[in-house]
Amino acid sequence: MERTYHFKHTLEKKERFAPGHRLCAGCGAGIAVRGVLRALKEEDRAVVGNATGCLEVSSFLYPYTAYEDSYIHTAFESAGASLSGVEAAYNALKRKGKVEGTVKFITFGGDGGTYDIGFQSLSGAMERGHDLTYVCYDNEAYMNTGIQRSSSTPRFASATTSPVGTAVPGKGQNKKNLTDIIAAHNVPYVAQTTFIGNFRDLYTKAKKAIYTPGPSFLNVMAPCPRGWEYPTEKLPEICRLAVETCVWPLFEVENGIWRLSYAPKKKLPVEDYLKMQGRFRHMFKPGNEWMIEAVQQSVDENWDKLLNRCNTNL
Amino acid sequence: MNYNERLSGNEAIAFAMKQIDPDVMAAFPITPSTEIPQYFAQYVADGEVNTEFVPVESEHSSMSACIGAEAAGARAVTATSSCGLALMYEMMYVAASSRLPITLACVNRALTGPININNDHSDSMGIRDAGWIQIYAENNQEAYDNFLQAMPIGEHPDVRLPVMICQDGFITSHALENITLLDTDSVKAFVGEYTPENYLLKKENPLAIGPYDLGCHYMEHKVQQAEAMKNAKARILEVAAEFEKVTGRKYGLFEAYQMEDADLALVLIGSSAGTAKAAVDRLRKEGVRAGLIKLRVFRPFPAEELAEALRHVKALAILDKAESFSAHGGPLFSEVRAALYDLEPRPRTVGYVYGLGGRDVTPDHFRSVYDRLARIAAGGDLGPVYTHMGQRE
């Protein structure tokens, strides 16, 4: 953790994600972008990349861009590759003395563009070692097309292609553990975070990710009020509970060293997190207790595995 | 200064790339274009170029990386064939609509289903409406020459479109030919520096690329793109004229071979033109007024120029090295035939689909086509306008 973090001072920095974008109230994507870009040094420029998704269609509607920095969107599955090309161009032009100053490369994708359709291009970019940061704003479904299930959607969640019916109780599969998968690429910096308290965790991880040479990956849980079905003002509470229940643990993997960023004093039961969201509503009907038990068991297993990896005994 | 060298078509393209020394090359191997990134990687390994080589994990990513690089202000190149081009399909539209003058060396190969590694034009013809300039070569010399002309065409402010330089897989990509090369200083002087007006890495003016474009602007953007493609025709001719000054080699939108007084003619693309010219030569010796048009530039499509060149022809065969499964003939047939519609009188036209998946085509095949054209010109029945040539019965 950065000791010098000062919430008020970071908020005084010039915004690089301007107001006037069209994201929904209570959406995590805009918070993620704003928070990550705030970690840029003020004197540095950036090229921001973006996979197709809610963020893209809401932040760059011709002729208005919400970005103070240069920005490129190409397609849904190509954010990793497109930014690889930008970074390669920077290296070539820098060598020829055609670019001034430091430019950093940060790309954003939802879980659709990152866990699923863009997974190959992300993996390629990580493996090739481009000096860029890939940020997934993980809202656990294809929200832009109307809340279809993704490989990031948690088990039992209701989505429009994994609806709750009389025969099927929502999504049948567990969430893919993408942060682990990217860590297995042995890139210099991988971290998982969300919006907690004074944003210190997001800020410090974004700063490390952006300024660690080589590829880095941030997985940011970014709730979606439409898809998760919560009142917009409950976003911080949901993020807090995701962390306190260990559904979404905060950790980082720096040069292969796994480090837990936060351990709840008392791990809360998963119900506390699930009950705030309409997508899990059916799990609280009589006779469906087994679903909550199954989620608790899965969360416990993953948490233990993580503690083990982080060499942490609680 | 020109000098002679014996190179395959792939070597010629790789060598042209080396002489140009682009900022970024992103590529993924696929037969028969694999050698191009392979030779180029060796130039990088030996420090002979100053290029960032991005060995991507797919062709979708090679085009995506080229788009990123070109948007960033760099000159980006790639090479591919067949399924590789098909995998790029989506990104080809993004490159063209973002007005990024990327250069792609396309080594034409049949599209899969069933898998086949040999030549036809189904790959580039399948992507003909993506908004790329398409220039085809008959032989290794033309492949090299066309590649040197690609950037001066595509990067011009009136055009700003990506360019595909196509050659026939194996037939020219792997066959060795004696070709004349331009020395590297002359190549650099001819191709020039890439100096885009706006780009991502420009310090003074950040740029946003790839918007969500609503109905109120989308059509205007498409019309601008269409205008750029119209402008490309004049630019292609300008660049060809400049190229002739440097090399003495003359290029146009198409090559008219023995067409001045031709009654019977073919229109076709690529290496088969060499074979067809042999058939024309024999027929000419027999007193038959045969000629052919080898289309060099398919996009933009030179409709008016073709109509003018074919005005006096009595019977015409248009040969497609690609199926379009329209049940009415290939893409070249449809477009050339439509280009002649307003002529009065107009040539009688038939279409052939030939050479699929590398099926051999010989002077005798073309001879039989001219024989048919002679019967049509003499007042005979047109017969079926859509047939195949060279397949076993």
Averaged over B281-291, what is the pLDDT?
A: 98
Summarised one tens digit per residue, pLDDT across range B63-94 is 999 999 999 999 999 999 999 999 999 999 99
Closest residue in chain A to residue B213, using alpha carbons only: A62
Averaged over B215-242, what is the pLDDT?
A: 98
CA atoms within 13 Å, Cβ hemisphere of B284: 16
Averaged over B368-385, what is the pLDDT?
A: 98
Query: CB atoms < 10 A from the CB of B126, how many?
Result: 17
CB contact under 8 Å between A120 and B69, yes or no, is no
Helices within chain A (DSSP H only): 7-12, 28-37, 54-59, 79-95, 111, 119-128, 178-183, 200-211, 225-228, 235-244, 270-274, 289-309
DSSP A67: B
**Residue A165 CB-density burial (10 A; 0-12 exposed, 13-18 middle, 19+ buried):** exposed
- How high is the pLDDT of residue B270? 98
Could you report the average pLDDT of every consecutive run of 10 residues in chain A (314 residues)?
Answer: 78 92 96 97 97 98 97 98 98 96 97 98 98 98 98 98 97 98 98 97 98 98 98 97 98 97 97 98 98 98 97 77
Listed in sequence order, the residues at least 6 apart from B281 whose beta carbon sits closer than 8 Å to its beta carbon are none
How many angstroms separate the CA atoms of B258 and B253, rounded? Answer: 16
**Residue A102 CB-density burial (10 A; 0-12 exposed, 13-18 middle, 19+ buried):** middle
CB contact under 8 Å between A93 and B57, yes or no, is no
Contacts of B23 in chain A (CB under 8 A): 88-89, 92-93, 96
Residue B264: beta bridge partners?
B290, B315
Listed in sequence order, the residues at least 6 apart from A168 whose beta carbon sits closer than 8 Å to its beta carbon are A162
Residue to substitute from B194, B200, B216, interface A, most A β-carbons within 10 A: B200
Q: Which domains does chain B have, with CATH numbers?
A: 2-247 (3.40.50.970), 254-389 (3.40.50.920)
Nearest to residue A109, comparing CAs of A166, A42, A182? A182
- How high is the pLDDT of residue A35? 97
Q: Can you give the pTM of this predicted structure?
A: 0.98
Listed in sequence order, the residues at least 6 apart from A71 whose beta carbon sits closer than 8 Å to its beta carbon are A47, A48, A49, A50, A60, A65, B200, B206, B207, B208, B209, B210
Contacts of B219 in chain A (CB under 8 A): none
Sign of CA dihedral B257, B79, B320, B110: positive
Task: Determine contact, residues A193/A250, Cβ cutoff 8 Å.
Answer: yes
- A47 Cα to chain B: minimum distance (Å): 7
CB contact under 8 Å between A89 and B74, yes or no, is yes
Averaged over B195-217, what is the pLDDT?
A: 96
- How high is the pLDDT of residue A3? 60
Does domain A7-309 fall under CATH 1.10.3720.10? My reply is no
Residue to substitute from A59, A82, A107, interface B, most B β-carbons within 10 A: A82
Q: Tell how strand B133-136 and strand B297-299 pair up.
A: antiparallel
Q: Map out the domains of chain A as residue ranges.
A: 7-309
CB contact under 8 Å between B60 and A121, yes or no, is yes
- A35 Cα to chain B: minimum distance (Å): 20
CB contact under 8 Å between B56 and A89, yes or no, is no
Contacts of B56 in chain A (CB under 8 A): 81, 84, 124, 128
Nearest to residue B273, comparing CAs of B171, B187, B342? B171
How many angstroms separate the CA atoms of B102 and B78, rounded? Answer: 8
Averaged over B313-325, what is the pLDDT?
A: 98
Task: Determine contact, residues B97/B72, Cβ cutoff 8 Å.
Answer: no
- How high is the pLDDT of residue B100? 98
Task: Determine contact, residues A51/A109, Cβ cutoff 8 Å.
Answer: yes
Residue to substitute from A70, A83, A100, A105, interface B, most B β-carbons within 10 A: A70
